[in-house]
Amino acid sequence: MQLPILLDRESRIPLQRQLFDSIRRMVLTRGLRPGDRLPASRGLAKALDVSRVTVSLAYDQLTAEGYLHARRGSGTFVSTQIPDALAEAHGRSLPRAAQARVRVSKYADRLQAEPAVGHVPSGAIDLSCFAPDFDRFPMAEWRRTLSRRLRSSGRLLFQYAGDAYGYEPLRQAIATYVAKSRAIHCTAAQVLIVSGSQQALDLCARVLIDEEDSVSIEKPGYPGTHGVFRAHGARVHTVPVDRDGIVVRRLKPGARVIYTTPSHQFPTGASMSIARRMQLIDWARQHGSMLIEDDYDSEYRYHGAPLPALYGLAADVPVVYIGTFSKVMYPGIRLGYLIATNSLAHRFAAAKWMMDRHSSLLEQMALADFIKEGHLERHVRRMRRLYHQRRMALVSALDQHFGEAAEILGDQAGMHILVRFRNLEGEPDPARDGVRLTSASKYYVSDAPANEYVMGFTAVTERALREGVARLCRAWSHPRAKGSLGGGQFYGEITLPHK
Ligand X SMILES: Cc1ncc(COP(=O)(O)O)c(C=O)c1O
Residues binding ligand X (CB under 6 A)? 196-198, 222, 261, 266, 294, 296, 324, 326, 331, 336
Supply the minimum distance, in Å, between the C-beta of residue 197 and ligand X: 3
Supply the minimum distance, in Å, between the C-beta of residue 116 and ligand X: 17
CA 176 to chain centroid, in Å, comes to 26
Q: What is the rounded distance in angstroms from the CA atom of residue 416 to the CA atom of residue 459?
A: 10
Please name which of 195, 217, 203, 225 lies closest in space to residue 112, comparing C-alpha atoms: 225
**278 in Cβ contact with 151 (< 8 Å):** no
Supply the minimum distance, in Å, between the C-beta of residue 211 and ligand X: 24
Residue 373 identity (one-letter amino acid): E
Q: What is the rounded distance in angstroms from the CA atom of residue 22 to the CA atom of residue 17?
A: 9
Give the count of beta carbons closer than 10 Å to the beta carbon of residue 236: 20
Q: What is the rounded distance in angstroms from the CA atom of residue 257 to the CA atom of residue 214?
A: 7
Supply the minimum distance, in Å, between the C-beta of residue 246 and ligand X: 13
Nearer to ligand X, 434 or 456 (CB): 456
Distances, alpha carbon 380 to alpha carbons 3, 375, 385, in Å: 49, 9, 9
Nearer to ligand X, 86 or 131 (CB): 131
Whole-angstrom Cα Rg for the chain = 28
CA angle (144 as vertex; 142, 145 as ends), nearest 5:
65
Please name which of 377, 386, 229, 210 lies closest in space to residue 292, comparing C-alpha atoms: 229
Nearer to ligand X, 197 or 271 (CB): 197
**Residue number with the shortest CB distance to ligand X?**
196
Supply the minimum distance, in Å, between the C-beta of residue 482 and ligand X: 35
Nearer to ligand X, 20 or 325 (CB): 325
Nearer to ligand X, 322 or 405 (CB): 322
Supply the minimum distance, in Å, between the C-beta of residue 496 and ligand X: 25
Supply the minimum distance, in Å, between the C-beta of residue 196 and ligand X: 3
Nearer to ligand X, 260 or 279 (CB): 260
Q: What is the rounded distance in angstroms from the CA atom of residue 160 to the CA atom of residue 163?
A: 8
Q: What is the rounded distance in angstroms from the CA atom of residue 356 to the CA atom of residue 275?
A: 40
Supply the minimum distance, in Å, between the C-beta of residue 188 and ligand X: 20
Q: In what order do the strands lie in the sheet with 406-409?
A: 406-409, 416-421, 452-456, 438-439
